[in-house]
Amino acid sequence: MESWQPSKRGAREAASRRRFLVAIAGAVIAGTAVGAAMLFKSMAGEAAQPINTIGSDGIAIRGYDSVAYFRDGGPRAGKEEHSLRHAGVTWRFASAENKAAFAADPDRFTPAYGGYCAYGVAKGGLYKIEPDAWSIRDGRLYLNYDRSVQAAWAKQPGHFIATADRKWPALVKK
């Protein structure tokens, strides 16, 4: 009699489910519900978008605090002591409160297009940014290459956002 063996894919999926359940249980036991929620989203198959770390050795937004754009009305340098890892990169924050806000809702505070220059994405490329070239539109943070590019962006942001939204999926696959 031949015994049934799960496919390699089935075995991998079962192992992944076991790791997920153990990690969730550990996070809940440790009292880190936010961490458990973030782990659940990542393990549930949500593809993480690439995050721009050009010129910053694996640190998002060149070390600036993404929450500060919303709370303080502009860029603020993050501090190493207020760092966390998300989407495979280090994020820095100016305060523990901003770090907690990001941990609770990273999608809200992650810049559009992973922090790549929004104008550049609309033009079909992935480029560095300068943290002081930014705008918030409809609750989303958009970063630009520099202030001169931001000035061009500001003339037709709706057009550039629509164009970048169409081009982003193909750029991410490269």
In this structure, the chain runs to a length of 174
What tokens does 31 get? Answer: 């009292």
- Whether the Cβ atoms of residue 68 and residue 135 lie closer than 8 Å to each other: no
Give dist(CA 71, CA 94) in Å, integer: 11
Radius of gyration of the chain (CA): 19
List Cβ neighbours of 22 (8 Å cut-off, separation of 6 or more).
none
Pair (71, 143) in one structural domain: yes
Same-domain check for residues 112 and 30: no
Claim to verify: residue 20 and residue 79 sit in the same structural domain: no
Number of folded domains in the chain?
2
Amino acid at 62: R
Burial environment of residue 61 by CB neighbours within 10 A (0 to 12, 13 to 18, 19 or more): buried
Mind listing the pLDDT tens digit of every residue in the chain (174 residues)?
A: 333 344 444 444 544 444 444 444 444 444 433 333 333 333 333 346 899 999 888 999 999 999 999 999 999 999 999 999 999 999 999 999 999 999 999 999 999 999 999 999 999 999 999 999 999 999 999 999 999 999 999 999 999 999 999 999 999 886
| Residue at 69 is within a domain | yes
Range of the domain at 35: 13-43
Asked if the structure places residue 133 within a domain, the reply is yes
Instruction: Give the pLDDT confidence score for residue 1 in this predicted structure.
Output: 37
